[in-house]
Structure 1
Amino acid sequence: MNEYGTGSGAAPVEERLRAALAARAHAVGPADLRPLSPPAPPVRSRRTRARRMVVGAMALAAVAALVFLTLVLSTTHDGHPAPAPPARSPHPRTGTPSPAPTPATPSPVTATPTPRAAHP
């Protein structure tokens, strides 16, 4: 039985296809094949080059615009540089102020005599 479940041999269509393919394979010889050639480098089209140039020009224009706007925004209307903003405390402010310190009361000072050494 074959794979189709019929008879013991191959189907007539399959036999004819196999014979035709075998005859075609035996008919091709080395003279029918083209010679080997090394692979050619990829060809870059003008469109690819133009696209790269346009993207580069746009990037350059964006950087120039950023520099220009930075300079314009950092100066005042009369052309002088804008003043620096006031300094801020590095510590954040809290909602409740700390209590004022109480003045220290001086402690009473008692004078104690110090012994003097006798000079010769």
Structure 2
Amino acid sequence: MNESGTGTTATPVEERLRAALAARAQRVGPADLRPLRPPSGPVRFRRVPVRRAVAGVLVLAAVVALVFLTVRHEPARPVGPARSPHPPAGTPTAPVPSPVSPSTPQPSPSARQP
């Protein structure tokens, strides 16, 4: 296995490149690096957490709306047993007058002509 961990032997080109990069890395020292300065200008606001928060709030609102609409409509209650249209025997009943429409005149028997 070679230095890269691939298990193959390095070609002459790869060996020359590695040697050149190692020599270059040895020549760089602290004096070659620029001094560390705090960033200048306005601080950039990261939008990724804001987008995730907005997406989370929208998902939560959708779930709450779904639960509200599902729970708000109560399931239909079963209908009670049917009752007889006639009262039980032995109960006095008052006669119920039949509804007569005042707008429709009723023909009298004497008004008929054969």
Fold shared per TM-score above 0.5: no
TM-score by length of 2: 0.30
Q: Which has the larger radius of gyration?
A: 1
TM-score by length of 1: 0.29
